[in-house]
Structure 1
C-alpha cells in the first residue's frame, strides 16, 4: 500500500488546499497520470501519481487545507485489504517516518500496526547500473516478474533519457567545448560537471580580455573563429552554448553550427525532474529544481532557469528564455524565440505566439499573438 502525501513544491510552502481529486476512489491510475490538484498562495497546481495501482482511499477531501507531508490518500492493488480506517490517525509525516500510524485498539493487546511504503523491487545488476548512471529507480517501470526492475529496463530508460544525447551511445564519454565564458559559462560548467560522463575541455569567447584565463580550471582558448581547430585538436564530441543575454544571437550561432554538423549537448542540473514521458530536443540548458510534467515536449536550444515548473502536456518551442520561477499550467503552447521574465505564471490552455516577451511577475490568462511585448500595458508590433 502506497501513501500519497502533500508535497512541498514551493520553497516557502508550509500548507496547501486540496482543490480537487482527478480520480475517483476505486479507479485505476497509472504512474505519471494527474491525480489531484492543490492550491497554494501562488497557483493551482496539478500533481501526478507517483505509483500505478488503484486509488483505494481518499483520506483528505477536496476543499481542506493541510500542512505539507500530510497523508492524502492510499494507492494499492485492487484486492489489497485496507487498514481499519476508524482507527487511522492523520498527521503530517516527517521525512524520517513516512508511514501512517494507527491508533491502538484499547481492547486489543496487539501493538499498533502500520502501512509501510513498499520497497522497490530490482535485480542486483539493475541496482548497480542505476547507481552508476545516477538513475532514480522510482522513475522506472519494471518488466520482470511481479514488476521487478531488471537491467534491461535501466538500459531502455537510458536510451530514452533526455539527459543523454540522442546522437551518441549512452555510455560514450562526452568531451564538451563550451561557447561563452561569461557568467552563463560558469553556470553551464557547474551543471555539466555534475555528470561524470561529461568532460569539459574548455571555452571559446569573442571577448579578447578573457583569452588565456580559466573557468573551473579549464582554459578559454580564444574566439569562435578557432572553433574548428580546437574541436579537432582536443577530440571534442559536443558543443554547449552558454549565451544567455541575447536569444537571437544564440539562435543564429546554434543554427549555423548545426548546419556544419556539430552536436549539441543538453545540460541538465541533477536536481531537475523530467517526467519520463516528456520529450526534449538538443542543446537545452535546464537549471536546478526545474520540473517538466507528463507528456510535455520541449524543442531545441532553450534556456530554462532554476525553479521553473512546466506542467503536463505543454508544447515548448525552440530558442526560448525562461527566467527563474516561471510556472505554466497544463496544455500551454509557447512559440519559438520567446522571452519569459522571472516568476511569470501562465494559465491552462494559453497559447503564446513566437517572438513574444513577457515581463517578470506577469500572470497570463489569455492567448497572446506573435511579436508582442507584455509590460505594464499591452503593446503589439515590437
Structure 2
C-alpha cells in the first residue's frame, strides 16, 4: 500500500481545497495519471498518481486538507485498506511547543510563545493567525441576546452567516443600505465569539441559526463565506431547509441595467456592471470590478474573483468558480462545477466539471539598453 501525500503546493499557505477527484474509488490507476484538482488561494493544481494500483480516497470533494497530509492510498489489490486508527489524545501542555516553521516565524514576530495557545500537539500558522485576531479584538460583553431589539418601522433585520474576511466585505456593503439593520453574525471560529466585525456583533456558532430563526430574531439572512463554492451551497441549503428568506447585498457603486433579474442571497461587489436583460440565480458572489454584459444567463452558487469580464449572451451554469482577470467571449457556455483559473481567455464552451488552466511563465529576460 502506498500513501498519497498532498505536496506543499504554495509556500504561503498551509492547506488546499479538493475541487474534484478525477478517478473513482477502487479504480485501477496508472502511475502519473491525474488524480485530483486542488485549489489554493492563488491557483488550481493537478495532482498525479505517484504509483500504479487501486485508488482509495481519504478526503472528500469540497474538503480542505493540510499540506503533507495523507489524502488517499493506492493499494496493490482491489480490497480497500482499513483506515488508520486515530491515536488517542494525551493532554500534555509540554507538547504544545511544536510549531510549524511558518507558525514559529509568525509567533516570534508577534511575541507569542507556546504558553499563549490552549492546544496540545502541533501549532499551525492558522492557529497563530486565529490567536492574533483574538488579541486584536476588543473585550466586549456577551451580545447573544436580541430580546430587547427595537427597530424603526420599515427596517429589515439581517443576520450574516459566517464571519472572517468574506463577512467583512459583505458587512461593508450592507452597512451602506439604510433599509437594513445588521443584527449580528454567526460563526464557528472561537476567536470571533462575543466580538464585533466592523461593529456587528458575533452572536455565537452556526448551531444557533435554527433557534434564532424560530424565535423571530431576524427577517433575512445572507452568507458571508466567499472562498469555497461547496461551503456557500451547504449553508444555502441549510437556510432554505428552514425557510429563511435570503437578502441580496449590492454595493451602491454597482450598476444594474434595465431588465436585470436577481435571485436571492447574491453579493454584488464594488463597481460591478451587469448589463440589461441579464439573469442571475441565487447565492452568487460577484467580486469587485466584474462586468457581466447584456443577455447573460448565470446560475447559482457561482464565485468570482475581481475583474471577470463576460461578453454578451454568455451562459454560466451552477457552482462555477472563477479566478481573477478572466475574459469570456460572446455566446460561450460554461458547464456546472467548472473551475476557471485566473487570467483565462475563454473562446469556446467549457464542459461541466472541467478545469481551465493557465500556464504562467515566471522567466525573466534582461533587456539590453540601446547605445
> Given the two structures, how large is their TM-score scaled by the length of structure 2?
0.54
Establish whether residue 368 from structure 1 lines up as the match of residue 350 from structure 2: yes
Counterpart of 1:248 (choices 224, 227, 230) is 230
**Distance in 1 of aligned mates of 2:344 and 2:333:** 15
Name the residue aligned to 2:318. 336
Name the residue aligned to 1:121. none
Counterpart of 2:158 (choices 176, 183, 188) is 176
**Distance in 1 of aligned mates of 2:241 and 2:225:** 19
Q: Secondary structure at the residue paired with 1:188?
A: helix
Query: Is the CA contact (8 Å cut-off) linking 2:195 and 2:202 kept in structure 1?
Result: yes
Task: Report the Cα offset of residue 228 of structure 1.
Answer: 2.5
**Distance in 1 of aligned mates of 2:243 and 2:310:** 34
Q: Secondary structure at the residue paired with 1:219?
A: strand
Counterpart of 1:308 (choices 290, 297, 302) is 290
The aligned runs of 1:197-276 (5 Å cut-off) are 197-233=179-215, 235-276=217-258
Query: Is the CA contact (8 Å cut-off) linking 2:213 and 2:244 kept in structure 1?
Result: no
Deviations 1:336-372 (A, max 9, x none): 0001111110000000011000111110001111010
Counterpart of 1:297 (choices 256, 274, 279) is 279
Task: Report the Cα offset of residue 233 of structure 1.
Answer: 5.0
Task: Report the Cα offset of residue 310 of structure 1.
Answer: 0.1
**Distance in 2 of aligned mates of 1:264 and 1:331:** 27
Counterpart of 2:333 (choices 332, 336, 351) is 351
> Given the two structures, how large is their TM-score scaled by the length of structure 1?
0.53
**Distance in 1 of aligned mates of 2:170 and 2:216:** 20
Q: Secondary structure at the residue paired with 1:252?
A: helix
**Unmatched 5+ residue regions in structure 1?**
1-170, 378-382
Task: Report the Cα offset of residue 253 of structure 1.
Answer: 1.3
Q: Secondary structure at the residue paired with 1:209?
A: helix
**Unmatched 5+ residue regions in structure 2?**
1-152, 360-371
**Distance in 1 of aligned mates of 2:280 and 2:358:** 29
Query: Is the CA contact (8 Å cut-off) linking 1:350 and 1:367 kept in structure 2?
Result: yes
The count of residues paired between Structure 1 and Structure 2 equals 207
Task: Report the Cα offset of residue 229 of structure 1.
Answer: 2.6
Counterpart of 2:176 (choices 187, 190, 194) is 194
Query: Is the CA contact (8 Å cut-off) linking 1:285 and 1:301 kept in structure 2?
Result: yes
**Distance in 1 of aligned mates of 2:191 and 2:265:** 27
* Farther-moved stretch of structure 1 (341-350 vs 208-217): 208-217
Query: Is the CA contact (8 Å cut-off) linking 1:177 and 1:231 kept in structure 2?
Result: no
Query: Is the CA contact (8 Å cut-off) linking 1:201 and 1:234 kept in structure 2?
Result: no
**Distance in 2 of aligned mates of 1:315 and 1:223:** 35
**Distance in 1 of aligned mates of 2:335 and 2:296:** 14
